């Protein structure tokens, strides 16, 4: 297969998703935040006939990789190979359809990074300066400490386990020298300050260009509100020079004398990975994508924490080289996807990770649907197991699955699997076509602006309109027997709407789309373009024979909700992702959380008066962890536990308090207690 290149007579769309670090298994927040969102847009563009290239790969250089390799007692190459395979396996399972999935540890990366640096230097956009940096002078170490080799207390929120580059608790970016009570990650020693020289990107010289460009492109490209706000707030505060080298061994070498023990900082190097990965995909044609701003539109997908690097630093680097680079037209960002009212945490193993999803025995389309229906486009959203089960049963099964199965089974049973020709057409049909076309226009508008959550909602709205049409038409055996022309029309339009839905749902659930067209015995349909509207419901004509209908989705029993919550509480990733402190056996399996609602449920069972639960049932965990060692999730749950305990005590002491209200309050207290104990046990259990 020939590598795809831009075409002069087509709309050329270049899509990237943020390059994932290869120091851990991706969790659901990572997946929806970049690769899955980009995959949906890439699939949409392809089905519209756009000439589309979707590029991604693993980000393999930097402090995070070097520190993780030290923790796991492996080489950086071995670590990258291990986690790259886990990433690729996860993305393959999720049906992420990259055109090319590369990596940053290649000669092409070194070539382009060094070439850009030399051009920036020649244009006067870099300079050398000295800076005070933390240095570990312990015997056998004796080295400057890059940001992630330093840990300590955050100066803003006083979280005790902040990294030298960012605090995981409050999210603020940090410099290692800002940490209170800093310590070396490797040996725990207190580092000292020493001067060292580094290269800086002179961002103030590029600020006026960056601001003018950003104000224009955020409007033209219809950026998501969070991406626009983050970018302009950075620029309006004023840019400062940014250090682009680090005292590390694992990275792209700096091509300067005296810098033999330094490499480029990962946030100089990483975005350039999009270009080098494209170069590895098409060595002769990469510049046609990346140095062709007139004919190529670049769309970049990422979480909100990555925005400044893609909207300020990377564009300034590209512009500063003086080469005609393709600079981003649209940034599509996501807020955070949280997990069961807490946060995903790679380092703590909290949340659902890719390897867990693959072992869940729940079809990939259900996962894709739920993540995209919950996509945090404008604000943080929550992954909730109860919501997950309900969306499968009440939306996929009861709406889309029901419509497709009901209509096609009727065709199979009453028409010998042969689609009828349109018979009687009345106001119900004209209203139906009008409504579908209105929704179809909204769908295209949403997808063109990467409002994928709304696009998926509209797909379900169109399916619901199909269900309503069947209901209003009273499709049943009596209609078939007594008014055959009407039944013919209803089944013809319904079959054609199913065909349209197969195209509209394809970006979100490609295997569901494939299952639909297989049952229809029809080729994959493109999403209608402007010249193909309005949709008239005449793609599949009378006489077409369909295949045997089958169910698209299956019910997830409500009883499975708690099982799933306990099974995928997050601690299960420790065995595969946490670094062993010694050469030890596999992590010991943890017992499932106790049924927090068991006592309350018992009290309210049939035939028995509700009993007021004793507050003694909700004693705090006996496991003792110092406050300084507690994770943000622990501190948050402890605060919730205290608040709920106060509520229970108030209810128990209040006159006229209802028994069922007390039962519910204690049940919630027990649930919080169980979550807290589970976190404590996972944290303290030997690995």
| Domains held by the chain: number | 3
Element (H, E) at 480: helix 477-482
Q: What is the pTM of this model?
A: 0.80
Residue with tokens 């797909």: 459
Examine the domain organization and report whether 311 and 444 are in the same domain. Answer: no
Asked whether residue 171 is assigned to any structural domain, the reply reads no
Examine the domain organization and report whether 213 and 72 are in the same domain. Answer: yes
At 19, is the secondary structure helix, strand, or coil?
Answer: coil
Mean pLDDT of 69-91: 93
Asked whether residue 2 is assigned to any structural domain, the reply reads no
User: Cis omega before residue 534 (within 30°)?
Assistant: yes
Asked whether residue 511 is assigned to any structural domain, the reply reads yes
The answer to whether residue 671 scores a pLDDT higher than 80 is no
Examine the domain organization and report whether 428 and 523 are in the same domain. Answer: yes
Asked whether residue 340 is assigned to any structural domain, the reply reads no
Sequence-distant (≥ 6) Cβ neighbours of residue 598 within 8 angstroms? none
Sequence-distant (≥ 6) Cβ neighbours of residue 584 within 8 angstroms? 686, 687
Question: Are 87 and 58 a contacting pair, CB within 8 Å?
Answer: yes
Asked whether residue 594 is assigned to any structural domain, the reply reads no
pLDDT of residue 597: 35
90-145 pLDDT, tens digit per residue, is: 999 999 999 999 999 999 999 999 999 999 999 999 999 998 889 999 988 888 88
Examine the domain organization and report whether 402 and 321 are in the same domain. Answer: no
DSSP string, 606-657: TTSPPP---GGGGPPPS----GGG--HHHHHHHHHHHHHHHHHHHHHHSTT-
Compare 336 and 289 and report the one with higher pLDDT: 289
**483 burial level (CB within 10 Å; 0-12, 13-18, 19+):** middle
417-445 as b/e, with b when 16 or more CB fall inside 10 Å? bebbebbeeeebbeebbeebbebbbbbbe
Asked whether residue 153 is assigned to any structural domain, the reply reads no
Examine the domain organization and report whether 317 and 440 are in the same domain. Answer: no
Examine the domain organization and report whether 403 and 330 are in the same domain. Answer: no
DSSP string, 330-384: EEEEE--EEETTB--BTTTTBS-BHHHHHTS-S-HHHHHHHHHHT--SSS-EEE-
Asked whether residue 233 is assigned to any structural domain, the reply reads yes
- DSSP collapsed to 3 states, 549-599: CCCCCCCCCCCHHHHHHHHCCCHHHHHHHCCCCCCCCCCCCCCCCCCCCHH
At 303, is the secondary structure helix, strand, or coil?
Answer: strand
Domain stops at, among 495, 528, 545? 545
Domain that holds residue 537: 398-545
Ramachandran sector of residue 417 (left: φ over 0; alpha: ψ -120 to 50; beta: rest): left
Asked whether residue 617 is assigned to any structural domain, the reply reads no
Examine the domain organization and report whether 118 and 263 are in the same domain. Answer: yes
451-498 pLDDT, tens digit per residue, is: 999 999 999 999 999 999 999 999 999 999 999 999 999 999 999 999
Q: List the Cα angle 569/571/574 in 5-degree steps.
A: 150
Examine the domain organization and report whether 329 and 412 are in the same domain. Answer: no
Sequence-distant (≥ 6) Cβ neighbours of residue 138 within 8 angstroms? 184, 187, 189
CA distance 87 to 82: 9
Kindly indicate the confidence band of residue 592, based on its pLDDT and cuts at 50, 70 and 90.
very low
């Amino acid at each position: 297969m020939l590598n795809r290149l831009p075409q002069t007579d087509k709309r050329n769309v270049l899509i990237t998703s943020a390059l994932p670090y290869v120091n851990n298994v991706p969790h659901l927040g990572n997946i929806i935040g970049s690769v899955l969102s980009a995959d949906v847009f890439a699939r949409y563009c392809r089905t519209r006939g756009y000439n589309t290239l979707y590029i991604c790969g693993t980000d393999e250089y930097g402090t995070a990789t070097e520190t993780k390799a030290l923790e796991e007692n492996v080489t950086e190459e071995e670590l990258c190979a291990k986690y790259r395979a886990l990433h690729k396996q996860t993305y393959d399972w999720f049906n992420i359809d990259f055109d090319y999935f590369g990596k940053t540890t290649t000669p092409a990366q070194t070539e382009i990074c060094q070439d850009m640096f030399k051009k920036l230097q020649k244009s006067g956009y870099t300079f050398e300066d000295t800076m005070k940096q933390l240095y570990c002078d312990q015997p056998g170490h004796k080295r400057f400490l890059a940001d992630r080799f330093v840990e300590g207390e955050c100066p803003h929120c006083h979280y005790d386990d902040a990294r030298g580059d960012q605090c995981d608790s409050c999210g603020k970016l940090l410099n290692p020298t800002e940490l209170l009570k800093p310590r070396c990650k490797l040996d725990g020693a207190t580092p000292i300050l020493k001067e060292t020289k580094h290269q800086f990107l002179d961002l103030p010289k590029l600020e006026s260009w960056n601001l003018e460009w950003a104000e224009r492109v955020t409007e033209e490209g219809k950026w998501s509100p969070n991406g626009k706000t983050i970018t302009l707030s950075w620029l309006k505060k004023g840019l400062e020079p940014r250090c682009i080298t680090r005292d590390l061994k694992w990275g792209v070498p700096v091509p300067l004398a005296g810098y033999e023990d330094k490499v480029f900082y990962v946030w100089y190097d990483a975005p350039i990975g999009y270009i080098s990965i494209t170069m590895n995909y098409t060595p002769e044609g990469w510049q046609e994508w990346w140095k062709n701003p007139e004919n190529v539109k670049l769309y970049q997908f990422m979480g909100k924490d990555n925005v400044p690097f893609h909207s300020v630093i990377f564009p300034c680097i590209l512009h500063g080289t003086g080469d005609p680079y393709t600079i981003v037209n649209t940034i599509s960002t996501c807020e955070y996807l949280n997990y069961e009212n807490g946060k995903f945490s790679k380092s703590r193993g909290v949340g659902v990770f890719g390897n867990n999803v693959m072992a869940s025995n729940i079809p990939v389309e259900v996962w894709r649907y739920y993540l995209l229906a919950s996509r945090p486009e404008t604000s943080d959203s929550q992954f909730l197991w109860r919501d997950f089960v309900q969306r499968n049963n009440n939306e996929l099964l009861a709406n889309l699955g029901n419509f497709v199965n009901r209509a096609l089974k009727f065709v199979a049973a009453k028409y010998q699997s042969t689609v009828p020709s349109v018979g009687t057409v009345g106001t119900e049909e004209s209203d139906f076509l009008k409504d579908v076309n209105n929704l179809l226009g909204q769908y295209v508008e949403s997808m063109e602006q990467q409002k994928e959550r709304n696009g998926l909602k509209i797909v379900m709205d169109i399916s619901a309109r199909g269900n309503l049409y069947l209901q209003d038409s009273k499709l049943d055996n009596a209609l078939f027997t007594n008014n055959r022309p009407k039944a013919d029309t209803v089944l013809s339009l319904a079959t054609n709407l199913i065909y349209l839905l197969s195209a509209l749902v394809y970006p979100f659930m490609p295997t569901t789309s494939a299952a639909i067209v297989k049952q229809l015995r029809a080729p994959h349909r493109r999403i209608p373009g402007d010249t193909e509207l309005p949709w008239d419901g005449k793609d599949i004509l009378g006489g077409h024979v369909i295949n045997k209908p089958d169910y698209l989705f299956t019910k997830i029993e409500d009883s499975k909700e708690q099982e799933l919550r306990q099974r995928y509480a997050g601690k299960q990733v420790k065995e595969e992702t946490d670094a062993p402190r010694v050469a030890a056996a596999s992590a010991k399996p943890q017992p499932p959380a106790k049924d927090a609602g068991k006592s309350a449920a018992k009290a309210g069972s049939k035939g028995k008066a509700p009993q007021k639960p004793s507050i003694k049932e909700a004693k705090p965990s006996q496991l003792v962890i110092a406050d300084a060692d507690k994770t943000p999730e622990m501190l948050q749950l402890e605060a919730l536990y205290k608040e709920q305990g106060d509520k229970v005590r108030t209810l128990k002491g209040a006159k006229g308090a209802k028994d069922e209200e007390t039962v519910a309050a204690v049940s919630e207290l027990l649930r919080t207690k169980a979550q807290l104990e589970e976190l404590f046990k996972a944290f303290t259990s030997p690995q």
